[in-house]
């Protein structure tokens, strides 16, 4: 039978384990595959307004993390699969008309804008999604394709990757005709289990971009998908509210369960 002391130790152990595994103790890996558990600490929803249609119910996500040692800022932008995804060819999901691989390499990009703590725009750039290069396909970030620097210095964009970049160049699934077959729930394909269906942009910005003022904020003024599932190209975004950090949610759930168990045992423990 569990004693109060044992239950207390279990609660403390749960807290300690969660803190040890906390994303705050890790640094994100910029590979195009978004995982909030790898280090991102602040998540915000993105309200979406599609050209010619207005606001839509689905929301995107914007996650950030600032490395306390270097001051560099990591970010990940993910669009809802109801708007755009990495399915194409014979295996599209939710597309009302044909969606080809070339649609994702034509002119897709995200505008990323960063400010310092004084509210001044220090870096503004278009982030290329995926482009044909000599060796195959790659995301060119702000260096080429549909990417370019609008304000600031190219050297400040230290790392970048996208989810289709991950699928081709990390997972090694170089599929230019049909994406992996899946269902409406995007169940992983057993032949291509690591295929990322979400459209994600991930990057790292040098602390040098913010100068002595330090980092302020990040925004995603516009996303360009040609086309999206609604038959449009441009989507404007606005941050709205925070997303609970996964580790915090797990900690609260586990701690709540143990505390409830302790209360139930109160009348029977020694």
The per-residue pLDDT string of the chain (270 residues; one tens digit each, 9 = 90 and over) reads 445 454 444 444 544 444 444 444 589 999 999 997 899 999 999 999 999 999 999 999 999 999 999 999 999 999 999 999 999 999 999 999 999 999 999 899 999 999 999 999 999 999 999 999 998 999 999 999 999 999 999 999 999 999 999 999 999 999 999 999 999 999 999 999 999 999 999 999 999 999 999 999 999 999 999 999 999 999 999 999 999 876 554 444 444 444 444 434 333 333
> In residues, how long is the chain?
270
Q: Which helix (H) or strand (E) holds 8?
A: helix 4-20
pLDDT of the residue at 15: 44
Bridge partners for 54 per DSSP: 50
pLDDT of the residue at 252: 47
- Three-state DSSP at 15 gives helix
pLDDT of the residue at 26: 86
| Contact of 62 with 217, CB cutoff 8 Å | no
Reported for 249-258, long-range contacts at CB under 8 A and 24+ positions apart, including other chains, are 250/18, 251/14, 251/15, 251/18, 251/19, 254/14, 254/18, 255/11, 255/14, 255/15, 258/7, 258/10, 258/11, 258/14
Strand extents, DSSP E, the chain: 42-50, 54-66, 73-78, 109-116, 121-128, 131-133, 136-138, 148-151, 157-162, 200-205, 215-219, 222-224, 234-243
Residue of 262, 268, 265, 267 lying closest to 12 (CA atoms): 262
Cα separation, 133 vs 114, whole angstroms: 28
pLDDT of the residue at 25: 56
Q: Which helix (H) or strand (E) holds 265?
A: helix 246-265
* CA end-to-end span of the chain: 9
| Contact of 62 with 220, CB cutoff 8 Å | yes
pLDDT of the residue at 155: 98
């Amino acid at each position: 039978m569990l004693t109060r002391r044992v239950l207390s130790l279990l609660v403390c152990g749960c807290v300690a384990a969660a803190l040890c595994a906390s994303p705050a103790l890790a640094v994100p890996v910029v590979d195009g595959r978004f995982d909030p558990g790898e280090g991102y600490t602040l998540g915000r929803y993105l309200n979406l307004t599609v050209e010619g249609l207005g606001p839509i119910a689905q929301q995107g996500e914007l996650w950030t993390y600032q490395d306390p040692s270097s001051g560099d800022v990591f970010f990940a932008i993910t669009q809802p699969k109801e708007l755009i995804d990495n399915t194409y060819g014979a295996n599209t999901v939710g597309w009302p008309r044909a969606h080809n691989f070339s649609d994702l390499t034509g002119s897709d990009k995200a505008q990323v804008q960063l400010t310092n703590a004084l509210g001044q725009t220090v870096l503004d750039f278009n982030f290329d999604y995926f482009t044909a290069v000599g060796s195959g396909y790659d995301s060119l970030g702000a260096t080429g394709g549909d990417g370019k620097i609008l304000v600031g210095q190219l050297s400040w964009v230290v790392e970048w990757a996208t989810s289709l970049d991950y699928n081709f160049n990390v997972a090694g699934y170089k599929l230019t005709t049909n994406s992996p077959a899946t269902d409406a729930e995007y169940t992983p394909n057993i032949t291509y289990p690591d295929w990322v269906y979400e459209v994600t942009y991930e990057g790292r910005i040098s602390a040098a971009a913010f100068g002595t003022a330090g980092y302020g904020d990040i925004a995603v003024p516009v996303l360009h998908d040609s086309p999206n599932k609604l038959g449009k190209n441009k989507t404007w975004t606005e941050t709205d509210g925070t997303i609970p950090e996964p580790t915090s949610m797990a900690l609260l759930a586990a701690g709540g369960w143990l505390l409830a168990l302790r209360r139930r045992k109160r009348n029977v423990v020694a």
